[in-house]
Structure 1
Amino acid sequence: MQHGRRPKIIVSFGTRPEAIKMFPVVHALKAHGAFDTRVVVTAQHREMLDQVLKMSDIVPDIDLDLMQEGQSLDALSARIITRFGAVLDVERPDRVLVHGDTLTAMMVSLACYFRKIPVGHVEAGLRSGNIYAPWPEELNRKVTAIIADLHFAPTPRARQALLAETIADENIFVSGNTVVDALLETRRRVIANPALAAAIEPLLKRFEGKRIVAVTAHRRENFGAGLTSIAKALVKLAQRDDIAIIFPVHPNPAVSKAMLPLLERIPNIALIEPLDYPNFVRMLDASDLILTDSGGIQEEAPSFRTPVLVMRETTERPEAIEAGTARLVGTSEAALVAAANQLLDDKNDYQTMASKINPFGDGSAAHKIVEILCKRHLP
């Protein structure tokens, strides 16, 4: 760092989940003012990323706009590393912050490594122990960890996973997960301005008096038989007249092809377009039960005291299982139906899950991350 100038930090992300979890970090860095903060997006996801940027009042300094329809993982990887590398050559930052387990995180980290630019990894240390589940996210995260010199672990368990991989203790910081910051901030905005979540309200009114079961499904390892099995389970659950299922369908054609033929004509199942984040938060807040194969929802829902059934064989967020805020049920039709009915019918079991504390933090993660960056970069 040259004397007299503020350290330059690039915050990089490319998908909707990254944008949700990084907008509190961007806001905290800019509010602090000690850093020259630049936002560079790869736009690995386009429309869903743009929704979060608009909601969070973030205008990227550089938008690489790399998304292409039907892109392969290797082609996207090549575009990220070469295009982001060119940005690094011009910007010459003192540090780059990446998030989580995406191709953006891994390839941006590699581009930084080739230039000996330090990388800070937000949401470091999550592990399932299987590089093919979640695929390709598990390996993306592990490679990023090898390169990063600052690891912002959301939980003590994530810290232990990093220590087990011989990451130096002094470079690991338990910060909590920034998704809780994003969730609570977004709920505050929706309460102050209900129009932000106006899209979901007609649906909630239509299903008034019913218990809301929210569903999300998009994991690559569930494509094919897994998604079909999930759809069949939802058909059976929808036979209950006391529930309504709200399912924002992921834009990947593999998801809609599995879901629409079985589910689109059932009156108490609403298949809807993906929700922007304020409407999504409102849906979570209104839900009685959540069925998901998403990672982030396992971290978000406990802040609203909503039980989660995880439709995967493994999870890199075992803290949720251990804390009792989520249960791992896989994608078997019978297992899914049984687990959902158990919670919907057993008030004591439901209340036990709903009363657990969120193990992923209290909403102060972004502030802690900025404090650590100050200690590392400021005189």
Structure 2
Amino acid sequence: MKSIMLVFGTRPEAIKMCPLVLELRGREEARVCVCVTGQHKSMLKQVLDAFLIEPDYDLSIMKEKQTLFEITISILNKISGVLEKEKPDVVLVHGDTSTAFACALACFYLQIPVGHVEAGLRTYDIYSPYPEEFNRQAIGIIANYHFAPTEKARQNLIGEGKNPSTIFVTGNTGIDALKTTVRADYSHELLEWASGSRLILLTAHRRENLGEPMRQIFRAVKRITETYPDVKVIYPIHLNPLIREIAGSVFAGEERIRLIEPLDVIDFHNFLARAELILTDSGGIQEEAPGLGKPVLVLRKSTERPEGVDSGALLLAGIEEERIYNSVSGLLNDNNLYNRMSNAGNPYGDGEASRRIADILLGQKDK
């Protein structure tokens, strides 16, 4: 029996790791242990509850206004004892968070093999996104298994000199989650509020967008609602008090912009499925929304998910007010452009990534 530990700490990680937890727990040949760091406390619990997963360990590291120093040091201090007690054959981390980086580093110190889920994403600008680009490159140095979501990600890893025999193209586990969360009979009072309007779903939380970039993003969104009376916006706002302060000042008094508390994963995926288009600086949403036929405008200077841009499902809208406003207006005004983006398809997977990763870890497939 193979001992497999999965470690994650944020809501986006949990959405993508929970399907893998469930897949591995369904395999008789796997002994599965789940450790959460609590990097996002309440938002993480929402996802765990939605997937009916009770972690074996909770490091509970979250503090108000915690810094990258505090996150990294706290995880290293607290996870070492868990790893030494469990002695897993392999530890799976996800993506590009400080949780994933710190856990991979702890495993390196203890010489425990690491599997990197969603490996090989790159911008090759170490400060964009920050600190995520550094985190995923550093994990790539440590990892023994690289579970790449796409062929492009695999080529990035090969170009960096990774051993091709350790790289596996699996698709993205986030697409797996959509199979169980999106429901035809779903209803919500906010969707009733938006009924008859073109609904824009907004998410914005990136550390590098804090400050003036976020003000420009919000001003562009406000202008869109002023220009198009049939548009309404729902913004599940991040818990970061700086983001809430900026959003409150820019959106004050806007009746067609609703700031709401973060949604649980089932609610959020169903909001995605019913939106007209998505404005986001998130990584995972760039993968999820194309699977639902929703155009995505990426509120960043660059993206480590170029497959979506190449396919036509994503449009890089940047962080400047005028550029964002023009990009959204173009989609709202041009039905042909909207239809092309809606029908571009999803380059990130077919919903079978968790099964493939489990097969590889348990020796049921070579590649």
Q: TM-score, normalised by structure 2?
A: 0.97
Q: Secondary structure at the match of 2:47?
A: helix
How many angstroms does 1:11 deviate by? 0.7
For 2:102 and 2:193, how far apart are their aligned partners in 1? 45
Identity %: 45
How many angstroms does 1:264 deviate by? 3.0
- Alignment-derived partner of residue 340 in structure 1: 328
For 1:80 and 1:118, how far apart are their aligned partners in 2? 18
Conserved? CA contact 2:148–2:169, under 8 Å: yes
Matched, 1:308 2:308: no
For 1:175 and 1:264, how far apart are their aligned partners in 2? 44
Conserved? CA contact 1:343–1:350, under 8 Å: yes
For 1:265 and 1:38, how far apart are their aligned partners in 2? 48
Question: Which of 96, 99, 106 is the aligned partner of 2:94?
Answer: 99
- Alignment-derived partner of residue 211 in structure 2: 224
- Alignment-derived partner of residue 156 in structure 1: 151
How many residue pairs get aligned? The number is 365
For 1:76 and 1:297, how far apart are their aligned partners in 2? 24
- Alignment-derived partner of residue 277 in structure 1: 265
- Alignment-derived partner of residue 295 in structure 1: 283
- Alignment-derived partner of residue 318 in structure 1: 306
The 3 A distance-change label for structure 1 pair 377 and 158 is: closer
Conserved? CA contact 2:181–2:270, under 8 Å: no
How many angstroms does 1:248 deviate by? 0.8
Conserved? CA contact 2:359–2:365, under 8 Å: no
For 2:164 and 2:107, how far apart are their aligned partners in 1? 22
- Alignment-derived partner of residue 360 in structure 1: 348
Matched, 1:13 2:1: no
Q: Note the alpha carbon deviations across 1:134-173, whole angstroms, 9 max, x for none.
A: 0000001011110001000000000011011110000000
How many angstroms does 1:191 deviate by? 4.0
- Alignment-derived partner of residue 3 in structure 1: none
- Alignment-derived partner of residue 215 in structure 1: 202
Matched, 1:49 2:44: yes
Q: Secondary structure at the match of 1:96?
A: strand
Q: How do 1:42-81 residues align onto structure 2 when only pairs under 5 Å count?
A: 42-81=37-76
- Alignment-derived partner of residue 172 in structure 1: 167
- Alignment-derived partner of residue 233 in structure 2: 245
Deviates more, 1:347-356 or 1:262-271: 262-271
Question: Which of 75, 81, 89 is the aligned partner of 2:84?
Answer: 89
Conserved? CA contact 1:264–1:271, under 8 Å: no
Give the letter aligned to residue 151 of structure 1. H
Conserved? CA contact 2:293–2:342, under 8 Å: yes
Q: Note the alpha carbon deviations across 1:92-124, whole angstroms, 9 max, x for none.
A: 111100000011111111111111110000000
Q: How do 1:34-45 residues align onto structure 2 when only pairs under 5 Å count?
A: 34-45=29-40
Question: Which of 115, 118, 124 is the aligned partner of 1:123?
Answer: 118
The 3 A distance-change label for structure 1 pair 377 and 319 is: closer
Q: Secondary structure at the match of 1:43?
A: coil
Q: Secondary structure at the match of 2:291?
A: helix
How many angstroms does 1:376 deviate by? 8.0
How many angstroms does 1:184 deviate by? 2.0
For 1:30 and 1:359, how far apart are their aligned partners in 2? 28
Q: Which stretches in structure 2 are left out of the alignment for 5+ residues?
A: none
For 2:213 and 2:364, how far apart are their aligned partners in 1? 45
For 2:67 and 2:12, how far apart are their aligned partners in 1? 20
Q: Please identify runs of 4+ aligned residues in structure 1 that moved more than 3 A.
A: none
Q: Note the alpha carbon deviations across 1:70-104, whole angstroms, 9 max, x for none.
A: 11111210110121111111111111000000111
Q: Note the alpha carbon deviations across 1:187-212, whole angstroms, 9 max, x for none.
A: 1xx447x4xxx5xx111111211010
Q: TM-score, normalised by structure 1?
A: 0.94
**Coordinate RMSD, CA, aligned:** 1.3
How many angstroms does 1:375 deviate by? 1.2
Q: Secondary structure at the match of 1:203?
A: helix
For 2:219 and 2:282, how far apart are their aligned partners in 1? 19
How many angstroms does 1:234 deviate by? 1.1
For 1:170 and 1:108, how far apart are their aligned partners in 2? 23
For 1:172 and 1:261, how far apart are their aligned partners in 2? 47
Conserved? CA contact 1:7–1:377, under 8 Å: no
